[in-house]
Structure 1
Amino acid sequence: MRFALLALLGLAACSTASDTAAVPDVALPAMPMDLMKEATRTLSSDEFEGRAPGTPGEEKTLAYLVEQFQKAGLQPGNEGSWFQDVPLVAITAQNVSPLTFTGGTQAMSLKYGPEMVVGTYRVTPKIAVKDSPVVFVGYGINAPEKGWNDYAGVDVKGKTVVILVNDPDWETAGLQGEFNGQAMTYYGRWTYKYEEAARQGAAAAIIVHDTQPAAYGWNVVESSWTGEQQVADAANGHMDQTAANGWIQLDKAKALFASAGQDFDKLAAAAKVKGFKAVPLGDVKASVSFDNVIRKHASKNVIGILPGAKRPDEVVLYTAHWDHLGRCQAASDGDNICNGAVDNATGTAALIAIAKANKDAGAPDRSLVFLAVTAEESGLLGSKYYGDNPVYPLAKTVGGVNIDAMNLTPPARNVVVVGMGKSELDSYLKAALAKQNRMANAEPTPEKGFYYRSDHFMLAKHGVPMLYFDAGDDLVEGGRDAGRAAAADYEKNKYHGPKDEFDPSWNWAGAEKDLQVYYAVGRMLAMTTAWPNWVEGDEFRAARDKSRAGAK
């Protein structure tokens, strides 16, 4: 899950990629915007019920994508099939008890939804955590390569750990620090924190929600964590994971610590310093229980290909996630369908439009693969499955572009690049933008960890260079003030809620320019003989070097 419009006020940054000599010249065609608009409208209509995996909404989405990929001129991309099965388990928590804390100076009982959310990865009909001792483990990080271990000297087996969101140095100005300073690392993501708590043997892992380091408000947590949740199917039913994972509101965490005779703010500050020792909260014990409705099913990634004319075994990827939240927490007017128009009907529609434009331009030298993945909103499950089980060898995958939510704002002077400077793909983006007299800016809020929150990450982990950018924040009309206002409106009123709906009055001029850039970058990669890489020292460089060495 992610906030589609990045926070603003970043400084301009120039591409530093070294592969500029290999960038071919590609014309920017007129994009099929009527097709783009109609696909977005259809995919985000109430008829598709929010496109949740494993629902009738998925069936309608898959049928529509196959129809549109065929019309755009693509061929089935998986040995004659349009689909790659992704084994999932849908788990719906029911009869959720309050999350209670006893043993302190004041007993606490937190309500499911407005005060806490809880769920499980375990595929089991009943979860019960009873009288589990509570331990504050700071940021919940165990990073041997950094000499950092928040679990050092404490046994949390069978206990409930309370964890801070993000990295210890997320408030640092600049990118220097134990955890890349302001820029979030994977250690800051909630997914990592639950994974590490499980490795430590904890019974439950509870993250303290704080809007700024989390990068979204409680409304997003509540809408995303209540209702049916998807996990990857596993032979062990994920019984090696914590019994319960959840979040609590910041004010409730402060009250909990006070009840245990501790000062939350002081402990949170102490947790930012290397050598922090976990703090048991005295006699405080946590309890929570709920039933699970379990449904196993095979969701699907949709794969289409435009075969290359000269080197068809070398592929360039376009990725976007087709799924959204389905039926969710109702708005005040009773609307309970999270339509996901911007996030990510627009990105999925972009795959169709870019495929059509490439077909009209003629087959490029390399093959173009259009991959619409499932279950992004559940933790990047579809892209993870593809990365672990690639249809096309990753060593022969040149690179790719991920499209996660196109912003329906007027034209901007720039685009905002998530992970700028990480790979040689920056030079392809710079060349495409130059044709529009636009520029690339680095993301201004790297502490929010957007790089780890969309599908490109699951391919980058395997070494495939992936480019990920959002629409610009410096609008031609209104500048950054106008961009800031649009971002704030979307985050507050629409993101991961029922009001992310198609609007006939949207201004598509900015999206059209961005669509041309997506087209051009992929087309350039498909017309060059180069094999772009991550820059020296990047976290994904070793995987790419190993992969390409094997290919050669």
Structure 2
Amino acid sequence: MKRYFSLTLITTAILAGCATTSITSDDLAKGYNSIQADEIAKHVKVLASDEFGGRAPSSEGEKLTLDYLTKEFTALGFEPGNGDSFFQEVPLVSLEADSDMVLNIGGKDYQYKKDMVMGSSRISAQEGIANSELVFVGYGVNAPEYNWNDYEGLDVKGKTVVMLVNDPGFATKDPNLFTGDAMTYYGRWTYKYEEASRQGAAGAIIIHETAPASYPWSVVENSWSGEQFGFVKDNNNMDRVAVEGWVTVDVAKELFTKAGLDFDTAKAEAAKGAYHVDMGDLAATVNVKNTIKKSVSYNFIATLPGSKTPDEHIIYSAHWDHLGTDKNRKGDQIYNGAHDNATGTAGMIEVAEAFTKLGKRPDRSMTFLAVTAEEQGLLGSKYYAANPVIPANKTVANINMDSLNLLGKVKDISVVGIGKSQMDELLATAAKEQGRTVSGDPKPSSGGYYRSDHFAFANMGVPAMYAGGGSEAFDEETANYRKRMSLVLRGCYHQPCDRYRDEWDLSGAVQDLQLFYKVGFDISQQTQWPTWNENSEFQRK
């Protein structure tokens, strides 16, 4: 059924501070209804094909991906977004640790991938720790605004810190502790290694647990082994700890017992307040041998110039990369990354095409940014934020697309980081036209707002929206389908089985992309820019 926009909503938008426009509701509907499931599927099939080899940065798969995006956006009439180029260079270095390593603690060798995954962010052929004393530092957090410092009064120079994943709010569910069940940036593995480095530690080990990490050990195996990308820096990352990595919770429990400690008791104490304790005479030794390759990867950027204020941009983002190919793996070696994130990249193309269906271009420019190396720690978007093609004071808002809804139509739409900005209100207005409501983050403990590329824009001060899917199935048939397919998707996160499937129901993805299109259009016509809410940790700079 086609859906058209009511003049009432357009009038309401004008009264709310929008400029008048010659774009009619029929024009809007043409773009809205041009977003189709079969078109999304067509793009995903190409991007997630074996030919593209898992779209690793600086690979042949990257070249194929960039060529595909260039072809599609050129055909749509978009202009290069970076001067006369569609590309922004992102200098990277890849470090691949030799898998022939063992972690020795307390006289026992722990095996790579089975028990632990270790590596080094230092751009060095060989790094290691030798007889480095272990210190448990709770959650490894130094957060003055929460009056919390696990390192207070502690000198960890030359030592290896061991810490829990996530943050204390998740453990206690206390809404007054950090942000309760919703993970903060302090719960992210990236922060924990950064803070351990600032404290002068020699090594940093995170204890993996599935619930607080929000993913199983297999994700650690696949995501932190093989090539690991980072930025090329003048200091070769020598300000980072020498060794960083993960151990399984079973290994952790064994180590705590050897140290004369009880893991569950120490974990409970760590959630009560800033906490650290020496782990007896346990010391760690591991050598990391790196194969180093310097390369250049690329962010892709394309723009449809606005008709009135073309220097002001609404930026849609998605990451084009995935984990590539693991030639050491038995069986299927290609991480096709169909859901994560060929769907988001395909969705970006569909929304871009929708804007070309209007009889007149929106007032502001519509810019589409496909970033590299998201899977390596949001590197492409971080680089863009540090070297913005469009200045922050000309970037009105960001709408991010990462892993679209494959579970069919829903009656709500989930907003990750709900309550942070006025973007929620714009989304709610558009969702109402679909008969949908806005709901909160379905899994706040995973810290989703700090785990995708909109986070870089938020740090720039740009209001950024990350939404999609929902929890309330459209009908009983869809509910049954969701139960079946969600099991498949959950088991395929960062696995070779994340590939395109004909049985996907992309009608829910269509719903969401139509909302993203409408929200972007509404922002493009408003006189006032969206703002952060007062209680948000992000504000315009």
Whether these two folds match at TM > 0.5 is yes
373-382 or 139-148, larger mean C-alpha shift: 139-148
1:355 is aligned to 2:352: yes
Whole-angstrom distance in 2 between the partners of 1:460 and 1:220: 26
CA positional deviation for 1:329: 8.2
1:302 aligns with one of 300, 303, 306: 300
Whole-angstrom distance in 1 between the partners of 2:300 and 2:144: 39
Alignment-derived partner of residue 315 in structure 1: 313
Alignment-derived partner of residue 416 in structure 1: 414
1:344 is aligned to 2:341: yes
Whole-angstrom distance in 2 between the partners of 1:76 and 1:216: 38
1:86 aligns with one of 70, 83, 90: 90
Unaligned runs of 5+ in 1: 1-17, 547-552
CA contact (8 A) 1:73 1:355 kept: no
Q: Which has the higher contact order (CA 8 A, sep 6+)?
A: 1
1:279 is aligned to 2:274: no
2:16 aligns with one of 18, 21, 34: 21
Unaligned runs of 5+ in 2: 1-12, 20-24
Deviations 1:15-49 (A, max 9, x none): xxx99924687543331444322111100000000
Deviations 1:495-545 (A, max 9, x none): 10000001123222221111211111111111212211110121002xx1x
Whole-angstrom distance in 2 between the partners of 1:526 and 1:389: 24
CA positional deviation for 1:477: 2.7
504-513 or 228-237, larger mean C-alpha shift: 504-513
Alignment-derived partner of residue 133 in structure 2: 133
CA contact (8 A) 1:342 1:406 kept: yes
CA positional deviation for 1:331: 7.4
CA contact (8 A) 2:410 2:470 kept: yes
Give SS of 2:245's match: strand
Amino acid at match of 1:356: E
28-37 or 71-80, larger mean C-alpha shift: 28-37
CA contact (8 A) 2:18 2:527 kept: no
1:66 is aligned to 2:65: no
Alignment-derived partner of residue 450 in structure 2: 452
Deviations 1:102-135 (A, max 9, x none): 2xxxx32211012111111100001121111110
CA RMSD of aligned residues (A): 1.8
Alignment-derived partner of residue 5 in structure 2: none
1:43 is aligned to 2:30: no
CA positional deviation for 1:475: 1.3
Deviations 1:328-347 (A, max 9, x none): 48877x00100000100010
Amino acid at match of 1:119: G
CA positional deviation for 1:147: 2.0
Whole-angstrom distance in 2 between the partners of 1:339 and 1:51: 7
1:56 aligns with one of 32, 56, 60: 60
Runs of 4+ in 1 over 6 A off after TM superposition: 329-332
Whole-angstrom distance in 1 between the partners of 2:184 and 2:212: 12
Whole-angstrom distance in 2 between the partners of 1:414 and 1:138: 37
Alignment-derived partner of residue 532 in structure 1: 530
CA contact (8 A) 1:186 1:452 kept: yes
Amino acid at match of 2:89: D
Alignment-derived partner of residue 221 in structure 1: 220
CA contact (8 A) 2:372 2:379 kept: yes
Whole-angstrom distance in 2 between the partners of 1:194 and 1:328: 25
Amino acid at match of 1:178: L
Alignment-derived partner of residue 501 in structure 1: 499
CA positional deviation for 1:173: 3.8
Give SS of 1:348's match: helix
CA contact (8 A) 2:89 2:299 kept: yes
Q: 1:216 to 1:302 in 2, by over 3 A?
A: same
Amino acid at match of 2:61: G
Alignment-derived partner of residue 435 in structure 1: 433
Give SS of 1:181's match: coil
How many residues align? The count is 518
Alignment-derived partner of residue 245 in structure 1: 244
